[in-house]
Amino acid sequence: MEQTIRFTLNNKSRELKLDHERRLLWVLRTDIGLTGTKFGCGRGLCGACTVLVDEQPVRSCVYPISRARDKKVVTIEGLANNGQLHPLQKAFIEHDALQCGFCTPGMILNAYGLLRKNSQPTRQEIVQSMDRNLCRCGSYARIIKAVQTAGREMKGAK
């Protein structure tokens, strides 16, 4: 059923008229044209489509747009602040924590969710909260290091 749905996307308010059952991933990628959020599996199994809704990582491929109503959605395009890269983005660059880069937006936003709750996670805590994000290129070891580095920088900035 078509409905008008309002939400904030990367700090700008949006109003769309659309079928409220459609998944957030496709609304972002096609209706809005923000292609940084990736499709990998469509069933919540890989994490490539991860975005933040009210600061929580969610899998946008299984997230109906109706649930985003009046909420704050942040995609990878909205993570940098006034052209300043987020500490996670910087740490991924510094650690070469990616190869093909297809899983990267989802990795960064999922890690964001973790660091928000726990800025000094242990290796074990990182592994646990990232374990459902898949990287076929095998960048895990470096992503773990990047998340630790970013956590330190975020804590230092506070």
Tokens of 80: 């940098």
Cα 69 → chain centroid = 18
Site for other proteins in 65-84 (CB under 8 A): 75-77, 79-80
User: Would you say 7 or 92 has its CB closer to other proteins?
Assistant: 92
Q: Which residue bears the tokens 């990628």? A: 29
94 touches other proteins (CB under 8 A)? yes
Q: Which stretch binds other proteins (CB under 8 A): 38-46, 52-60, 66-74, 149-157?
A: 38-46
CB of 71 to other proteins, least distance (A): 20
Q: Which of 43, 82, 156, 157 binds other proteins (CB under 8 A)?
A: 43
16: alpha, beta or left, given left = phi > 0 and alpha = psi -120 to 50? beta
Tokens of 77: 């395009």
